[in-house]
Amino acid sequence: MSLLGRLFYKSRKFYDDDFDWNSYTEDSYKRRIETDIESQFQAVAQNDQLGFDAASGHVTVSGSDMHPNHLLILEAIGQLQPKSVHEVGCGGGDHVANGQTLFPQIAFTGGDRGQTQLDMAMSRHPELKDAVALQDITMPLSRHWPRAEFVYSQAVLMHIHTAVSHFVGLANMVNLSDRFVLLMENYQCHNFIADIQNLRDGGHFDWPELYIYRFDGSTGARAILLSREKLDLPEIESDAQIREGLTASDRRLKRSDEDSARGIFGPKN
C-alpha cells in the first residue's frame, strides 16, 4: 500500500446506509410523507373507506387513491390471511394502522430503529401505542421481538448498505416469521433474490423450505414474497425476473453487486 494509502487507511469511509437514521425524521421523512405521499395519495384510511374483496383479492379505497405499494401490502395480507403481521421499519405507522383498520381480527405490530420515527407513529396513530417498539433489524435476533406469521418491510432494506447488515436484516425477518415474508423494496438496490438464495443455501434461515414468489398488486406494484408453504403464484429464480420492465439504474446495480460480494455464506450442506 502507498504511503498516502496507509495514512488514510484508518479514516476511510467504509460502507454506509442511505440516511443518518438518528436525524432522519427531521432531515427527510416528515417532508417526504407530506410531499411524496400525502399530496397525491391517501396515506391513512378510515374504516369506512377501506374494503377487501375476497373473491378478487383486491383492496378498494374510497376517496383518493392509495399508493400502489401500500395497497399491495394490504392485498397480500388479505389474500394470505395470517393471524399476525409485523412491519420492520414501520416509520410513521401508516401501514400498520391501515392494516389494523381493514383487518381488525389480525394482530398488527411494528418495529423501527428510530425513536423519533416511533414518536411520529404514535402521534399520527395514538391507538398504536402498545403495538410499536424499538427494533434494529440488523442487530442479533432478540427474543423480545414479536414473532408473526407475516413479516414485511416497505422501503427499509433498500436503504441499508453498511457492511453485511442487509443480510442480517433479511435473515432476521425470515427467522422471526412463521409463514411469510414480504419485501416491498426497490429491487435494484440489492440483489435480493441472489442474496436470499445464498442465505438459504448457507443455512442462515430456520425455515425447512423456502419458496420465492412474485406478488402483484391490483394497481401495478410488485413485491417479493417468501413463503414456507407452496403457493399458487409465479416462482422467481433470479433478480432479472423481479427487475423485468424496470428502467435500469447502473449506479444502484453496481452497489448491489458490491453489497452481495461482501457476503460469506454457509458452509453449504
Ligand X SMILES: C[S@@+](CC[C@H](N)C(=O)[O-])C[C@H]1O[C@@H](n2cnc3c(N)ncnc32)[C@H](O)[C@@H]1O
Q: How far is the CB of 6 from ligand X (least distance, A)?
A: 33
Which residue in 80, 98, 99, 112 binds ligand X (CB under 6 A)? Answer: 112
The reply on whether position 172 binds ligand X by CB under 6 A is no
Helix (H) or strand (E) holding 5, with range, is: helix 3-8
Least distance (Å) from ligand X to the CB of residue 64?
17
- Taking the C-alpha atoms of residue 267 and residue 201, their distance in angstroms, rounded to an integer, is 8
Q: Percentages helix, strand, coil for the chain, rounded to the nearest 5?
A: 40, 20, 45
Q: How far is CA 60 from CA 98, 125, 184, in A?
A: 12, 21, 19
Question: Measured between alpha carbons, how far is 188 from 213 in angstroms, rounded to an integer?
Answer: 17
| Amino acid residing at 69 | N
The interface mask with ligand X, positions 3-22, x = CB under 6 A, is: ------------------x-
Output 24 or 205, the one with its CB closest to ligand X.
24
The residue among 86 and 113 lying less far from ligand X, judged by its C-beta, is: 113
Figure out which of the listed residues 44, 133, 141, 155 binds ligand X, where binding follows CB under 6 A.
155
Cell numbers given for 256: 448491489
Considering the complex, what minimum distance in angstroms separates the CB of residue 184 from ligand X?
Answer: 8
Contacting positions for ligand X (CB under 6 A) = 21, 24, 88-92, 112-114, 117, 135-138, 154-156, 159-160
